[in-house]
Amino acid sequence: MPEGHTVHRIARQFEADFVGRRVAVSSPQGRFADGASLLDGLVMIGSRAHGKHLFLAFAPEGAPDGASVEVLGLRAERWLRVHLGLYGAWDFHGQVSPLLPGGGATASLGAPRVRRGVRMGEGERSIDADDAERAIDEPDAFPPDPVGQVRVRLLTDVTAADLRGPTACVVVTREEVRAVVDAAGPDPRSTPGAEGEELFVERLTRRRVAVGQLLMDQAVVSGIGNIYRAEMLFRARLDPYRPGSGVPGEVARELWRDWVALLDDGIRTGVMITREDLDDGGREAALADRSLRHAVYGRAGEPCLRCGTPVALAEMVGRKLYWCPGCQV
């Protein structure tokens, strides 16, 4: 399942290539036809992420639909809410701005810099023009014909975004956006600073539930998935079975601050590199080799990089849990 950094990068891709443009919205698959008709022809005025939720804001002629209430920093009445779930992904085609290490998009200097396509879901990769999955007669034609079960297509004059396999894809009002955000745990990017930290610490330490379970609870903290959960607990030397109420407040604060740093790094690079022992050369190698990125995740039975104890594997609430029983106590 895509983790929080990926959803923030998707939001930034829309910010770079769709915001400020009139968007043709359709549902090639047909399952989102009614929702598409509510958004078709409107201007995308903003793109936001909160945890694993993506919110795209629309208004006629770029105006805020007469809305007077701001949500996620925007005044809009019609929003598209998307949750990718386990299998969802966005495919971007046409003029797709490369995202800079800082998370923004490159400015066009002369001819626009164009990637033929990029898929953003669990992981991020380029889509080659001769990709068999794109099976179109003219690889350079724009827009390409939709391939497979495309729930929704968002189309400007130069860029197309196709959504497949989401858990949620629904048109919502600003009040419904606010309700989703209020029910979710804090996200460092949309609940920054002391407010987010205090809310996280309070929700984590008041419950007698295993901290390994709480970090995956999107009502406690938004955006953390299986990889970040395992790696954050390892970095904090915390037993994943310790109850949240048994985590000292300062340790909980350090967990939040570590999540802030890891999320920022993931948004910047597009990958999850969570090992603390890597120098610049090691990070460069980890960018190219996924097996070098993590200390415990995916390393069951291998020696802990810190103490040599074999990394353990168990199941917690239906998800694989990796940890070191030797130094996570």
Residues known to be catalytic? 2-3, 52, 319
Q: Closest Cα to residue 131, out of 164, 91, 163?
A: 91
Phi, psi of 239, deg, nearest 5: -65, 125
Q: Give the count of alpha carbons within 13 A of 26, CB side only.
A: 11
Total residues belonging to the chain: 329
> What are the residue ranges of helices labelled H in the chain?
4-17, 33-39, 174-183, 193-205, 211-214, 226-235, 249-269, 280-288
Using the CB atoms, write b or e for 223-242: b if 16+ within 10 Å. Answer: bbbbbbbbbbbbbbebbbeb
> Hey, what's the torsion of the CAs at 27, 33, 36, 41, to 10 degrees?
90
